[in-house]
Structure 1
Amino acid sequence: MSSTCKYLIPGLEKGLQLLLLLAQQHRELTFAEILRLVDMPKATAYRAIQTLVHLDFIEQHPRTGAFSLGRKVLSLGLGYIASLDLTQLGQPIIEQLRDRSQCNSHLVIRDGRDIIYIARVSGAESKINHVTVGTRLLAHRTSLGRMLLSGLSRAEFDELYPDDELPDDAGSKQVFWNMIQADRLRGYVIGESFYRRGISSIVYPVYNRDSGVEAVISIMMPMDSIPAQERQRLQNEVRSAAQKLTEFIGGMTSMKAI
């Protein structure tokens, strides 16, 4: 939001700033930590937080006193997700994929350095502790994130990850970039225990009209490696689902220049 807007409401701006901060940190924050991370007077921050707590947009832990996003924010996020044409178009596609593969199926988008699950269905016999719609994970920690990042140019990637090392000691940015480029040229990712041991996934991209990666469709199964006799069939099912959604949104499958 531009600071030159003559209709700016300072209190609303501060409240939204605090909500964005909590969303970006992926953890509870104490009041002292919030003050270190925002540029606002202590009294202003305190009043804004207490207002948001009162309205259920922020929750305060009864024992630690730390703050996290509240139920009202989740309802807003789910409302946004439900409004996306991508979700409406993708839901029946991943349901069909689940039926054909007998695996948990997902539709996922990227928001900055996070991935967000916008649709999901569980296989009938699945014993995997499943993510829910609205779940955010770090893109560089998941095979789905790798495929979503494959649509970026090097300049866009460097802007997203400006340091030589990835966040939370996840390794070299250059090594990760090389991995993404191999994924991009291959056109899919098979992530065997990439994020969690004992869990494998097959991921294909959904392309938009600019040939960028708009989303990914994936299946997940509880095994360290996908049986060789099933691998090609499952790949074909996920690829077909991703191609169908690409066609529905008018996407182009040619690769974006890097």
Structure 2
Amino acid sequence: MKDNRSVNRILAILELISKNPDGLTLGEIYRELDMPKATAYDFLQTLYKADAIYYKDPFRKTYVIGSKMYAIGSVYTKNSNFITTSAPLLKQFSDEYGCNAFATKRINGDKIVFVHVYQSPQSQIVSHVEVGLIYNSFSDNFVGECYAAFDKKIEGVVRIDESKKKDILNKGYVCELGGELNHVMNIAIPVYNFENRVVGVVAVSRLHTSMEDTQALAKQFKEVGKQISRRLGYLGDIL
């Protein structure tokens, strides 16, 4: 079936606006998307009237995502088995170990979106990650490396160093130091569903203390991944 060009353009506009929380003007949008000005204007006005976008700055007329898109996203959150299954287990783990927790999904083949974020009151770090944040690369972040190592659907498409991939597969998780001072330890693990495929990646971040602590934390976090996968109907073996 042939793609509908207008729908694709509207989705491109919404995706672009979602990546710019300070808002974008009409000129910035049609130039970035290489779209006729009149076409972009018509789409923006339609979206504006539907409350899908609104003016963050009425004087500059900068567009940001509106209440309609939030409502639609909320319905997805409620209906997603992955989110509803993982959220309480991530919260329980984070509160016990003083972590920030995240759940992500792969979209459009080559992007990663954060669909759930939780910061424990016991956490000693602040993670500047919000629901809806999109990563456009698999190679420059620990979550993307986890997908690249475990997700069979992108095997051969996303490049990852073979020795690094082997190490990740052997451990069953990805760990990476982050933060301006490399003071944050990030751990990511895959989650599988009843079709025996990677349905998402969950991750935690915590103040780094030692590699011994990291290995112990990762071992416990892998158990959380197993619980989520089992509840989603996965019957295979997880390292």
Cα distance in 1 between the residues matched to 2:149 and 2:179: 16
Q: Does the 8 Å contact 2:102/2:118 carry over to 1?
A: yes
CA distance in 2, matches of 1:91, 1:154: 25
1:146 maps to 145
Listed one character per residue, the Cα deviations across residues 61-94 of structure 1 (whole Å, up to 9, x for unaligned) are 4265443333432332232122101112112211
The 1:55/1:197 distance shift into structure 2, 3 A limit, reads farther
Alignment match, 1:246: 229
Aligned partner of 1:120 in structure 2 is 117
Q: Write out aligned runs for 1:189-208 (5 A).
A: 189-193=174-178, 197-208=182-193
Q: TM-score when scaled to structure 1?
A: 0.72
Letter in 2 for 1:240: E
CA distance in 1, matches of 2:166, 2:24: 36
- Write the mapping of 1:11-160 to structure 2, written as runs, cut at 5 A: 15-23=10-18, 26-27=19-20, 28-38=23-33, 41-62=36-57, 64-112=60-108, 113-130=110-127, 131-140=129-138, 141-153=140-152, 158=157
5+ residue gaps, structure 2: none
SS in 2 for 1:134: coil
* Residues 217 and 20 of structure 1: CA distance in aligned 2, closer, same or farther (over 3 Å): closer
Identical pairs, percent: 23
In structure 1, what is the equivalent of residue 2 of structure 2? 2
Question: Against the structure 1 CA distance between its residues 180 and 73, is the aligned structure 2 distance closer, same or farther, given a 3 Å change threshold?
Answer: farther
Pair 29,243 (structure 1): closer, same or farther in 2 beyond 3 Å: same
- 234, 239, 251: which one aligns with 2:217: 234
Verify the 8 A CA contact 2:145 2:160 in the aligned structure 1.
no
Q: In 2, are the aligned partners of 1:217 and 1:238 still within 8 Å (CA)?
A: no
Q: Closer, same or farther in 2 for the Cα pair 1:116/1:15, shift >3 Å?
A: closer
Distance 1:114 1:40, change over 3 A: closer
